[in-house]
């Protein structure tokens, strides 16, 4: 099968972000950027399917500024075969991203599209589900297990009550959760080799999609800060403080 | 203005989050609640009792994302708002429905400022985004934990929708953790355990304290990954978002992805060997020490105080 993996470049998940004092957004200049962690799990899932002989070709796509090349290279170094950067400096809404990806699906005709379940910058958790709707494919979101069964996938999903297993016929869209696998760190030779793999760059304006935003972001503000309280010296004091809290609680 | 609200349910019962959503959005207009389930009747009866509900619509179908999306799609044309909770079904379904209707959704809302102005957290809650949604139809998900529940004194009519729902995906099996602890996402008291709890047996100490306080039990991702706690206990950016009156964090460092799940907690208590742990730094009350020594004593003290709720 042919697999398309969508990867996003985001502020590295270990960076403690800073909200700009003027409320216009989060400071991203001079901040370390990386592949979105969930996307890394999606790439790993694709590469593992390749190693099992289930996948014959893995294409990675990223939408964003020129520097998004870096996250495509990360995926190529992990084992994907070729890359596509849809270049734009604009901050696109998830519906626009999904529409651009739907165009890529139309061109590439992958049997499986793998995405991360959410991008850890906007925490939207939209694009996979939107892409499934736009391409009229079944979806299996929040995947922690993927098994190929002929022309179907059996996907285990992480849900509120625990886990569930569903069957989705191919072609399908699957979004990766962190427990799906342990992503590899590409060894240096693979990183070198990635640079010689094909990587096409096309402007986002080329796809005939209206890139305008529907929503207006009025402001970005920092959350209210929590201040340190007190440290108690004994278990009995701690128990008494709990008891005081519990007695104060309004009954629901 | 009118609202179509998707009911959350589990094991044939309405989830506590639905009452919270009904209360949160009642200012938007009359609310019709849709129940999509194999056996929707008992769930529908619970939903019909919620104050603010005008009608309950039932659809008999398997709970796959396509069937729920298609059920909502069949009715969505008549409403200005289509709303679900930001739980696993709402997260799965609302973006799919939104794309089918060519609407940009606003999800994970924690604050409502007006009919089309909302605040949602981004960057694991380290920033708050206030957005205005000028689209004629609004597709929204809300974090139930951020809102208070509606009363149960209503008797809205229940209407069965006779539609057949297609889904290419098939449900095969549920793997659930059976536990009698309260619903984590809406509990008033939550006890969380970290990877330092050390084992599934260690988590029994946490559960025991939970029982004493009538609390729900949660865990860090590290504790879940280590196999000490089931995945549905995970609290954080990629787990459940909680907003209890009291959160007691035991042996939890306070990584920002964990803190993302507890920002709505009214008070935070912490037990940790490390006074410099980020969670201790934001706790209202902290106790520095070894959880294995503290927990049995603490449970015994609280039992003595007779807090059995
Ligand atoms: C994309 C992404 C998403 C994530 N999502 C989540 C999420 O949703 N939820 C989540 O929790 N994490 C999440 N994580 C993981 C997170 O970054 C941390 O790794 C995790 O929260 C740490 O868990 P912990 O506090 O149990 O362990 P540690 O960070 O190892 O902390 C253990 C703590 O226990 C204390 N301790 C040790 N021994 C004792 C003792 N005997 N008594 C008392 N205290 C003791 C230590 O001082 C320390 O503070 C995510 C990570 C990524 C990359
Ligand atoms: N700009 C982008 N380029 C490529 N893939 C993206 C982009 N934005 C989102 N995605 C994909 O969609 C997933 C979910 O993102 P989101 O819906 O934005 O939380 C990500 O993990 C990616 O796989």
pLDDT in tens, A151-203: 999 999 999 999 999 999 999 999 999 999 999 999 899 999 999 999 999 99
Q: Measured from the CB, is residue A121 less than 6 Å from ligand 2?
A: no
Cα separation, B42 vs A202, whole angstroms: 54
- What 3-state class would DSSP assign to A17? coil
pTM of the model: 0.95
My answer on whether B54 and B106 are in the same domain is yes
What residue ranges in chain B does DSSP mark as E strands? 3-6, 9-10, 13-14, 31-37, 53-60, 81-85, 106-109, 111-114, 117-122, 127-132, 138-142, 158-160, 170-176, 189-193, 216-219, 246-250, 267-272, 285-288
Q: Measured from the CB, is residue A49 less than 6 Å from ligand 2?
A: no
Residues belonging to the binding site of B for FAD are 220-221, 234-238, 251-258, 272
pLDDT band at residue A115 under the 50/70/90 scheme = very high
DSSP conformation letters of A45-60: HHHHHHHTTS-SEEEE
Judged against a pLDDT cut of 80, whether residue A34 lies above it is answered with yes
Q: Is residue A66 part of a domain?
A: yes
Cα separation, A118 vs A102, whole angstroms: 18
Q: Is residue B175 part of a domain?
A: no
What is the number of alpha carbons within 13 Å of residue B153 lying toward its C-beta? 2
My answer on whether B106 and B252 are in the same domain is no
Average pLDDT for chain A: 96
How many independent structural domains does chain B possess?
2
Q: Is B123 on the interface with A (CB under 8 A)?
A: yes
CATH number for the domain harbouring residue A184: 3.40.50.620
CA angle A50, A51, A55 (to 5 degrees): 20
Q: Is B7 on the interface with A (CB under 8 A)?
A: no
Structure tokens, B155: 């008797």
The answer to whether B184 and B218 have CB atoms below 8 angstroms apart is: yes
Judged against a pLDDT cut of 80, whether residue A252 lies above it is answered with no
Hey, are the CB atoms on A177 and B95 less than 8 Å from each other?
no
Q: Is residue B180 part of a domain?
A: no
d(CA B258, ligand 1 centre) in Å: 7
Chain B partners of A124 at a C-beta cutoff of 8 Å?
A: 95, 107
Hey, are the CB atoms on A19 and B126 less than 8 Å from each other?
yes
Structure tokens, A215: 């929503």
B174-188 per-position pLDDT tens digit? 998 777 788 898 899
My answer on whether B41 and B144 are in the same domain is yes
Q: Is B303 on the interface with A (CB under 8 A)?
A: no
Q: What is the pLDDT of residue A245?
A: 93
Q: Looking at CA atoms only, how far is residue B229 from chain A in angstroms?
A: 11
B158-160/B106-109 β-pairing: unpaired
A199-203/A172-176 β-pairing: unpaired
Cα separation, B197 vs B163, whole angstroms: 50
Q: What is the pLDDT of residue B166?
A: 87
- Average of per-residue pLDDT across A210-227: 95
Hey, are the CB atoms on A132 and B189 less than 8 Å from each other?
no
Q: Is residue B270 part of a domain?
A: yes
d(CA A6, ligand 2 centre) in Å: 6
The torsion of the CA quartet B122, B129, A131, A97, rounded to 10 degrees, works out to: -100
My answer on whether B114 and B198 are in the same domain is no
B81-85/B3-6 β-pairing: parallel
- The ipTM, to two decimals, is 0.95
CATH number for the domain harbouring residue B296: 3.40.50.1220
Q: What is the pLDDT of residue B62?
A: 87
Closest CA to B222 of B242, B187, B192, B265: B192
Q: Is residue A219 part of a domain?
A: no
My answer on whether B32 and B139 are in the same domain is yes
Instruction: Please give the residue range of the domain that contains residue A27.
Output: 2-207
Closest residue to atom 7 of ligand 1, CA basis:
B236
Q: Is residue B171 part of a domain?
A: no
Judged against a pLDDT cut of 90, whether residue A249 lies above it is answered with no
Instruction: Please give the residue range of the domain that contains residue B86.
Output: 3-160
My answer on whether B264 and B147 are in the same domain is no
Q: What is the pLDDT of residue B180?
A: 78
- Average of per-residue pLDDT across A79-84: 98
Q: Which residues of chain B have pLDDT under 70?
A: 308-309
My answer on whether B22 and B140 are in the same domain is yes
């Amino acid at each position: 099968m042919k697999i398309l993996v969508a990867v996003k470049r985001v502020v590295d998940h270990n960076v403690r972000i800073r909200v700009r004092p003027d409320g216009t957004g989060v400071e991203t200049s001079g901040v370390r950027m990386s592949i979105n962690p969930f996307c890394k799990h999606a790439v790993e899932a694709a590469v593992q399917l390749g190693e099992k002989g289930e996948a014959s070709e893995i294409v990675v796509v990223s939408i964003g500024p020129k520097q998004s090349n870096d996250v495509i290279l990360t995926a190529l170094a992990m084992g994907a075969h070729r890359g596509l950067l849809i270049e734009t400096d604009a901050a696109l809404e998830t519906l626009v991203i999904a529409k651009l990806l739907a165009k890529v699906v139309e061109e590439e005709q992958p049997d499986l599209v793998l995405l991360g379940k959410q991008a850890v910058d906007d925490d939207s958790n939209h694009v996979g589900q939107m892409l499934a709707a736009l391409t009229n494919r079944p979806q299996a979101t929040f995947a922690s297990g993927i098994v190929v069964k002929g022309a179907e996938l059996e996907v285990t999903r992480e849900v509120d009550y625990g886990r569930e297993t569903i069957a989705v016929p191919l072609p399908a869209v699957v979004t990766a959760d962190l427990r799906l696998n342990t992503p590899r760190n590409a060894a240096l030779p693979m990183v070198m080799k990635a640079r010689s793999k094909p990587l096409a760059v096309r402007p986002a304006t080329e796809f005939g999609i209206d890139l305008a935003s529907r929503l207006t972001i009025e402001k970005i503000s920092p959350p209210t800060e929590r201040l340190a309280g007190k440290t108690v010296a004994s278990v009995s004091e701690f128990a008494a403080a709990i008891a005081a809290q519990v007695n104060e609680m309004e009954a629901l | 203005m009118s609202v179509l609200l998707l009911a959350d349910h589990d094991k044939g019962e309405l989830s506590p989050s639905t009452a919270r959503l009904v209360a949160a959005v009642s200012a938007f207009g009359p609310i019709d609640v849709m129940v999509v389930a194999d056996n929707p009747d008992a769930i529908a009866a619970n939903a019909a009792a919620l104050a603010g509900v005008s009608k309950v619509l039932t659809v008999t179908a398997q709970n796959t994302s396509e069937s729920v999306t298609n059920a909502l799609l069949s009715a969505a044309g008549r409403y200005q708002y289509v709303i679900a909770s930001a739980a696993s079904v709402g997260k799965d379904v609302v973006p799919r429905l939104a794309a089918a209707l060519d609407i940009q959704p606003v999800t994970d809302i924690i604050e409502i400022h007006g009919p089309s102005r909302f605040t949602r957290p981004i960057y694991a809650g380290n920033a708050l985004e206030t957005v205005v949604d000028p689209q004629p139809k609004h597709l929204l998900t809300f974090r139930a934990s951020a809102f208070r529940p509606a009363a149960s004194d209503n008797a809205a009519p229940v209407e069965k929708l006779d539609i057949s729902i297609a889904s290419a995906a098939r449900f095969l099996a549920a793997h659930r953790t059976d536990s009698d602890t309260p619903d984590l996402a809406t509990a008033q008291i939550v006890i969380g355990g970290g990877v330092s709890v050390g084992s599934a047996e260690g988590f029994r100490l946490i559960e025991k304290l939970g029982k004493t306080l009538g609390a729900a039990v949660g865990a860090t991702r590290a504790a879940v990954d280590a196999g000490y706690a089931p995945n549905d206990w995970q609290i954080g950016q990629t787990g459940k978002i909680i907003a209890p009156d009291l959160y007691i964090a035991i042996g939890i460092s306070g990584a920002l992805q964990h803190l993302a799940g507890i920002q709505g907690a009214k008070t935070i208590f912490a037990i940790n060997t490390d006074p410099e742990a980020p969670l201790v730094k934001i706790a209202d009350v902290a106790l520095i020490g070894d959880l294995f020594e503290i927990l049995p004593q603490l449970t015994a003290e609280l039992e003595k105080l007779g807090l059995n709720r």
